[in-house]
């Protein structure tokens, strides 16, 4: 009877384990194997084992990789930092009671429900050099001389993508942080105000400590998503102009899928995987994720 109770839960999760093994573990292991070969689409039968040659070439000779990695780091830092800042501001506002709060919440959360492709098309129309909303507004207010092709310009392409992604990413932080705010007891704020604490003191000594888990988790998830972000960057600029917006995932896609260098592209994938694995472990360690406020 005891053995049946042990086996039955395992049988229930067996389909999920099989699915993960076939569609996640197997492709991952195969990708690690390709990274040690010179496998190319133009010569699939002539691929040979080259060991760590691809990795040595990436770190010693590949300047495109270095630029793409730096662009990825800059992209992630800006996106997560700004999304966290604005998400916290909106969460604090939406946590207050005011007329029409439900409508405002729905309006603020709407960008998160829009698909990546639709978001990209929307912002491409906004940034369009000839019929774009942004250039038309600039002309109306007398600044038509600064209108330009925003996503094709070397100086504005990266910033334009950052703004577009912020519009899509801020609602995630707002939702996550708003949920954390609503778990903080109002009695704590009332007690603090009786003792003479200001709103700023309440924020630093009550709000932030009790929202630590929500902030750490939301920042971690968003960092992972932004580091492997592909859809918006690929659709709007595909890494251009002149690689100004080329991130590591885009470079990996161009190398393996477009150029057919599957061995070299797999090596880039392994590096991306190792970077994210190290970051997640280090990030959770320094933030003591999972421990309570008083631990």
| Contacting residues for 20 by C-beta, under 8 A, at least 6 apart | none
Most confident of the ranges 204-213, 228-237, 264-273: 264-273
| Contacting residues for 219 by C-beta, under 8 A, at least 6 apart | 80, 84
Take residue 146 and report the two structure tokens written for it. 């600064």
Residue-wise pLDDT tens digits, 129-171: 888 899 999 999 988 888 888 999 999 999 999 999 999 899 9
pLDDT for residue 292 is more than 80: no
Mean pLDDT value of segment 107-133: 86
* pLDDT value, residue 5: 65
* pLDDT value, residue 290: 56
* pLDDT value, residue 81: 95
* pLDDT value, residue 2: 55
Q: pLDDT band at 200, cuts 50/70/90?
A: confident
pLDDT for residue 293 is more than 70: no
3-state secondary structure 65-88: HHHHHHHHHHHHHHHHHHHHHHHH
Q: What is the reported pTM?
A: 0.88
* pLDDT value, residue 3: 58
**Residue 78 to residue 196: CA distance in whole angstroms:** 36
Per the listing, tokens 């888990």 go with 213
Contact 147, 139 (CB under 8 A): yes
Per the listing, tokens 């990030």 go with 283
Query: Strand pairing partners for 37?
Result: 49
**Backbone φ and ψ of 37, nearest 5°:** -125, 170
* pLDDT value, residue 228: 86
pLDDT for residue 77 is more than 50: yes
């Amino acid at each position: 009877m005891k053995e049946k109770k042990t086996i039955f839960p395992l049988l229930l999760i067996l389909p999920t384990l099989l699915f993960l093994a076939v569609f996640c573990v197997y492709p991952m292991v195969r990708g690690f194997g390709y990274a040690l070969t010179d496998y190319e689409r133009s010569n699939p039968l002539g691929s040979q084992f080259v060991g760590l040659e691809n990795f040595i070439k990436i770190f010693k000779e590949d300047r495109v990789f270095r630029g793409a990695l730096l662009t990825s780091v800059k992209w992630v830092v800006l996106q997560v930092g700004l999304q966290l800042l604005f998400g916290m501001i909106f969460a604090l506002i939406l946590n207050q009671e005011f007329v029409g709060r439900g409508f405002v919440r729905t309006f603020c959360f709407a960008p998160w429900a829009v698909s990546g492709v639709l978001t990209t098309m929307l912002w491409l129309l906004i940034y369009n050099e000839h019929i774009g909303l942004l250039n038309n507004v600039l002309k109306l207010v007398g600044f038509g001389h600064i209108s330009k092709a925003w996503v094709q310009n070397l100086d504005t392409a990266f910033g334009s993508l950052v703004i577009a992604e912020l519009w899509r990413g801020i609602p995630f932080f707002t939702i996550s942080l708003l949920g954390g705010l609503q778990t903080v007891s109002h009695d704590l704020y009332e007690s603090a105000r009786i003792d003479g604490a200001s709103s700023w003191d309440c924020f630093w000594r009550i709000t932030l400590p009790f929202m630590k888990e929500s902030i750490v988790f939301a920042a971690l998830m968003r960092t992972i998503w932004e580091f492997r972000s592909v859809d918006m960057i690929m659709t709007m600029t595909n890494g251009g102009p002149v690689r100004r917006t080329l991130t590591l995932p885009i470079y990996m896609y161009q190398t393996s899928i477009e150029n057919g260098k599957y061995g070299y592209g797999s090596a880039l994938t392994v590096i991306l995987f190792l970077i994210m694995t190290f970051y997640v472990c280090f990030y959770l360690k320094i933030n003591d994720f999972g421990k309570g406020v008083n631990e």
